[in-house]
């Protein structure tokens, strides 16, 4: 990476912009992709030479001919090298994801075919948010926190409520006219949730909160489903067992549909 200091004169303006660092986007993408790959290769070679017994050992006491990634990066000091590498490549990955999203969004904006434009925007937003979720998961894998399931449930339930309260208070103080106004020009004494979370900057805070609590909600729904399914499996009364299983599956899939609807709402509003 070459450090450059360049002065760019704006046309028709005396203002000057200073660029202290110019990096090729292509080189940044290649370096970001190669960094974990090279580190993984180093971890594999060093672990295979110096810690061969540790990486081939498994929990079931079966010899593993080709060690897994978790085995290679689970021994010391390779684990620290791997974590530092993952932490270093998270920042550039966020930049790359944002740049690609902006680039393809600009291309789709100029598209005249409306159906293709809508499908393209939805797929683009889906890919972008999947990328963000993957990066967030990598961040989570770096920090090993012992969180009780009860605290996770309480935090997941309280997060949207606290954010909604913050949005309501700030909108009521600073944007009172906007939240009370309706489409039919009737004064709304108690503003709706869509009115409170529809003004800026509250809308961005609300969307980020909803996006953050979707992952834990999926975890909670899956854990509850597995827990009660195990209880129903041990039940001897067959009719009650069948009814319980059907109700359990119904509740689980209604929860999944609600979470999917929240994802769809976030994608639609970002178009």
Q: Residue 142: which pLDDT band, with cuts at 50, 70 and 90? A: low
Q: Specify the pTM.
A: 0.48
Please give the helix or strand (H or E) that residue 133 lies within, else none. Answer: helix 114-142
Task: Tell me what the pLDDT averaged over the chain comes to.
Answer: 80
Q: Compute the distance between CA of residue 204 and CA of residue 163 in angstroms, rounded to an integer.
A: 11
More confident: 141 or 229: 229
Which residues are CB-neighbours of 18 under 8 A, at least 6 positions away?
5, 6, 7
Q: How far apart are CA 69 and CA 40, in angstroms?
A: 8
Please tell me the least confidently modeled range out of 66-80, 82-96, 142-156, 237-251.
142-156
């Amino acid at each position: 990476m070459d450090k450059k200091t360049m002065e760019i004169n704006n046309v028709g303006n005396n203002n000057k912009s200073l660029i202290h660092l110019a990096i090729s986007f292509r080189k940044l993408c290649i370096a970001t992709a190669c960094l974990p790959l090279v580190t993984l290769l180093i971890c594999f070679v060093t672990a295979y030479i110096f810690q061969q017994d540790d990486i081939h050992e498994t929990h079931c006491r079966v010899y593993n001919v080709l060690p897994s990634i978790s085995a290679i990066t689970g021994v010391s000091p390779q684990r620290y090298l791997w974590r530092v590498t993952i932490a270093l490549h998270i920042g550039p990955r966020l930049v790359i994801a944002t740049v690609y999203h902006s680039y393809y969004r600009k291309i789709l904006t100029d598209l005249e075919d409306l159906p293709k434009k809508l499908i393209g925007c939805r797929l683009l937003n889906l890919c972008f948010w999947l990328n963000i979720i993957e990066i967030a998961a990598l961040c989570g894998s770096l920090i090993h926190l012992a969180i009780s399931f009860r605290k996770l449930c309480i935090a997941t339930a309280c997060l949207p409520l606290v954010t909604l309260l913050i949005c309501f208070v700030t909108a009521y103080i600073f944007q009172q006219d906007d939240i009370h106004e309706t489409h039919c020009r009737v004064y709304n004494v108690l503003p709706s949730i869509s009115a409170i979370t529809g003004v800026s900057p509250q809308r961005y805070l609300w969307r980020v909160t909803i996006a953050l609590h979707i992952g834990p909600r999926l975890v909670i729904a899956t854990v509850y489903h597995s827990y009660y399914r195990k209880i129903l499996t041990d039940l001897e009364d067959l009719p009650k067992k069948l009814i319980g299983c059907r109700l359990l599956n119904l509740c689980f899939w209604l929860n999944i549909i609600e979470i999917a609807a929240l994802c769809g709402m976030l994608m639609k509003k970002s178009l």
